[in-house]
Structure 1
């Protein structure tokens, strides 16, 4: 009985935590892990919000999250000319996107849609989003292929 009380006391003594599980990995150009992010850590970065559409949703939605270029900078990753960002989803879907996209547009790692976190079923917890509604040139199949949902890792490749 004494052990039961001790276990209960320890459970209440532990600090309350939010979303502390790592959900995004940044991988170095040499393939080594550089940094991982939890939802709390992504939320601690400056957030960008915009309303946009894409072919995977019925109407426009408000998406928010850190700018992709801010995450790379926070992880100490350079963005050399001509380099690509290799993004990988939980299901191992991979695509390389030009790093110039991150400089030319406010590409975000969306962690929220309409103010709510996204479950795996809702294409979360991270969905790469472009401000498609603000730039007609982004209404393109090549861009649509870069709207990777359930993002798990990113890597700058040359």
Structure 2
């Protein structure tokens, strides 16, 4: 399209195009206001995410029951772990999808287990290393006596870089809370 150099119509059109371009740049520079998460579906809260998050569904945090976790994207991973014999099927939410759902803006997650164990892991572990927040082990829900209700699992069989003490320490079972920093 050719714009007229002179005249009122040409100036108005150039101003509108400039305003649209500036508005688009502002939308890219400043993310949209975060939408709140759905409320848990009435089940027992099994995961609380707090800290540097934009999307909450309760008192300053994101609270998940099993049904709400299952409403997020699902991935199935078949892998061996140092704590189980043979390959097993793990079903859960990709860590990347979970941090996106809560609008995480930090770089580190502190993951907390029911037995008072905690560990820091990079938010990037979801995208970079395929970490999964697992809620089914071989198709069955996990009890606290079986490393449940949640377990952070990495694709140990498929990604050589995850077969190290660093990633074994990040594979938190009995997971119940995360704080994003």
Per the TM superposition, whether the score is higher than 0.5 is yes
- TM, length-normalised to structure 2: 0.70
Q: What is the aligned partner in structure 2 of residue 75 from structure 1?
A: 102
* Cα distance in 2 between the residues matched to 1:137 and 1:39: 30
Mapping of residues 105-120 of structure 1, within 5 Å = 105-120=129-144
Gaps of 5+ in 2: 1-40, 54-58
| Contact map agreement 2:78 2:87 (CA 8 A) in 1 | yes
- TM, length-normalised to structure 1: 0.80
CA RMSD of aligned residues (A): 1.7
* Cα distance in 2 between the residues matched to 1:88 and 1:70: 19
Gaps of 5+ in 1: 1-17
Bigger mean CA deviation after superposition, 108-117 or 98-107: 98-107
Q: What is the aligned partner in structure 2 of residue 26 from structure 1?
A: 49
Shift of 1:72: 1.5
Q: What is the aligned partner in structure 2 of residue 39 from structure 1?
A: 66
| Contact map agreement 1:89 1:153 (CA 8 A) in 2 | yes
| Contact map agreement 1:25 1:33 (CA 8 A) in 2 | no
Comparing both chains, which one has the higher relative contact order based on Cα–Cα distances under 8 Å and sequence gaps of 6 or more?
1
* Displaced runs of 4 or more, over 3 A: none
* Cα distance in 2 between the residues matched to 1:25 and 1:47: 19
